[in-house]
Chain A
Amino acid sequence: MSTGDVAIVGLGIHQFGRHDGVSGLEMGAIAARRALASAGIAWQDVGFAAGGSDAAGNADTSVSMLGLTGVPFINVKNGCATGGTALTTAHAMLVAGAAEVALVVGFDKHPRGAFNPLPEEWGIGSWYGESGLMLTTQFFAMKIHRYMAEYGISASSLAKVASKAFANGARNENAWRRTPLSEDEILSSRMVNHPLTQYMFCSPGEGAVALVLARGSRIQELTRAPVYLRAVTFRTRRFGSFEVFAPSIPIESAPSATTEAAAAAFDEAGVGPGDIDVAQIQDTESGAEVMHLAETGLCEHGEQEELIQSGATEIDGRLPINTDGGCLACGEPIGASGLRQVYEIALQLRGQAADHQVPKECRVGFTQVYGAPGVSACTVLTV
């Protein structure tokens, strides 16, 4: 391995779900301590840190809980790409030689029914909210609705994505929703935004994830099971892509931010989508998983119907997707979700995913997050 290599050498998580009496910052600090313990190092050994939350405070204030070591700590607040951005930052600092060991942490704590963004904060007039258009659920519904018509995706496949998520969540002790739900139960649940029903959506939640990264010779010193970070990329939207909170979209269409971030990640890692053994992709709702499967290049547009109906994306399938239950079963603490995906892939590649371990051998993994107003972050990980 070259000295430019960066690997994950420590993993920590605070269970996702509802945790009354525990702040988001405390969950972040708990995850950080667990990651440090798993790497066998102390907080004093960390030379750089980056982290963030969307709504639970500044990550760097966790030093008052972890210890005042003077470590440079960058706060990140970048919507759903918060975790990916923190990871990008730490990776770049390690590659640049600014530190040998870094900590990345993401956490959040959203109450039930959270997320009522104000148009003014997204560059849109107040008319947009007053007219009843400022809802992410509408965007997801309208994007998958169009996609279903163009590519022949069935409502049954939307339900199967959700039932797979809850089945996987039932096997993951750190997931929130751990009760399996049948395809029929999901299809017959309350309609939220046609064609998406209640159980096809994730819920705002709580949780935290931390990772310890190291570079060069420090990797082998700290772990016998490194997970190499082969690529970490993120992109904003181009003219012509269909994104959330868009009062209009051009007729001229362009690939999404996800497509560009994924292509850059595969290019940087020197692997192709066909090399991926297991992947975690953003499943804010069932339709997002369907569309992101093709936007990332993991399959062709329209191929999802056969993949999902045949069970190829289940844990024991050819292309296991969201093996920890994804956002649907883990909930959506915005600052934590991107790192949860990386945490899960690291477990899978190390063979430490217990009841939700993919049975086939996994050597190459992939993650993708997507968020408003059109940002995406992807990683490629290998052992």
Chain B
Amino acid sequence: MTDTRELQLIDPDLVGGTMEEPRLIGSECERCGTVTFPRQRSCPRCTSEEVHPRELATRGALWTWTIQCFAPKSPPYLEGGVAEFEPYGVGYIELPGEVRVEARLTESDPERLTIGMPMELTLIPVPGARDKLTFAFQPVEEGE
């Protein structure tokens, strides 16, 4: 796994890979195969402590979504994020055979989001903290 400290990620335990090709880091249970995100030290399904880190798929389908139309409170949102607030999309993306991951969406127009549409992992600046990146999912352009 590539060193990710240079990416100034919001939490280096969440994302590995490279700046160009990031990967979410989850965990996989060695006993029952359950995949979780973020990584855990034990399995929420079978309670086993035999789990190891696993890079998750970068593409999946939008399972559900909403648009966040009001600025979240600070804390836990950053003050700068409140100041520069614009409505943003949030959804769960189903990574096939793995897990459904909750994430910011790069798309915030409700007319351009549909349940089931293909999405892919990307990185976006943390609102209000320009030196930090967090993970998000963007619609997959047709033909890709």
A and B associate in one complex: yes
Tell me whether A116 and B73 are in contact (CB under 8 A).
Answer: yes
Given A248-B36, A250-B45, does the pair A130, B77 have CB atoms closer than 8 Å? yes
Tell me whether B45 and A193 are in contact (CB under 8 A).
Answer: no
List CB contacts (< 8 Å) of A139-180 with chain B.
Answer: 141-143, 145-146, 149
Q: Is A96 an interface residue (CB 8 A)?
A: no
Tell me whether A249 and B97 are in contact (CB under 8 A).
Answer: no
Q: Which of B65, B81, B99, B104 contacts A249 (CB 8 A)?
A: B99
List CB contacts (< 8 Å) of B63-116 with chain A.
Answer: 63-70, 72-73, 75-78, 81, 88, 90-92, 94, 97-104, 110, 115
- Inter-chain CA distance A126–B38, complex, in Å, is 12
B37 to chain A minimum Cβ distance, whole angstroms, is 4
Tell me whether A142 and B91 are in contact (CB under 8 A).
Answer: yes
Q: Is B122 an interface residue (CB 8 A)?
A: no
Tell me whether A251 and B98 are in contact (CB under 8 A).
Answer: yes
A372 to chain B minimum Cβ distance, whole angstroms, is 14
Q: Which residues of B contact A118 (CB under 8 A)?
A: 75-76
Residue of A nearest to B11 (CB): A127
- Inter-chain CA distance A131–B63, complex, in Å, is 19
- Inter-chain CA distance A125–B88, complex, in Å, is 21
Q: Is B129 an interface residue (CB 8 A)?
A: yes
Tell me whether B101 and A248 are in contact (CB under 8 A).
Answer: yes
- Inter-chain CA distance A119–B129, complex, in Å, is 18
Q: Is A247 an interface residue (CB 8 A)?
A: yes
Tell me whether A131 and B10 are in contact (CB under 8 A).
Answer: yes
Q: Is B57 an interface residue (CB 8 A)?
A: no
Tell me whether B37 and A129 are in contact (CB under 8 A).
Answer: no
Q: Is A128 an interface residue (CB 8 A)?
A: yes
B15 to chain A minimum Cβ distance, whole angstroms, is 10
Q: Is A192 an interface residue (CB 8 A)?
A: yes
- Inter-chain CA distance A246–B103, complex, in Å, is 11
Q: Which of A119, A131, A134, A192 contacts B69 (CB 8 A)?
A: A192
Q: Which residues of B contact A116 (CB under 8 A)?
A: 72-73, 75-76
B14 to chain A minimum Cβ distance, whole angstroms, is 6
A119 to chain B minimum Cβ distance, whole angstroms, is 6
- Inter-chain CA distance A134–B77, complex, in Å, is 8
B71 to chain A minimum Cβ distance, whole angstroms, is 9
Q: Is B16 an interface residue (CB 8 A)?
A: no
Given A142-B91, A146-B64, does the pair A132, B127 have CB atoms closer than 8 Å? yes
Q: Is B126 an interface residue (CB 8 A)?
A: yes
A98 to chain B minimum Cβ distance, whole angstroms, is 34
Q: Point out residues on B near A: beta carbons under 8 Å.
A: 10-11, 13-14, 26, 34, 36-38, 44-45, 63-70, 72-73, 75-78, 81, 88, 90-92, 94, 97-104, 110, 115, 126-129, 134
23 contacts between A and B (CB under 8 A): A116-B76, A118-B75, A128-B76, A129-B72, A129-B76, A130-B129, A131-B104, A132-B81, A132-B104, A132-B127, A133-B102, A133-B103, A141-B66, A145-B65, A146-B115, A191-B69, A192-B69, A194-B66, A247-B102, A248-B37, A248-B100, A250-B45, A252-B45
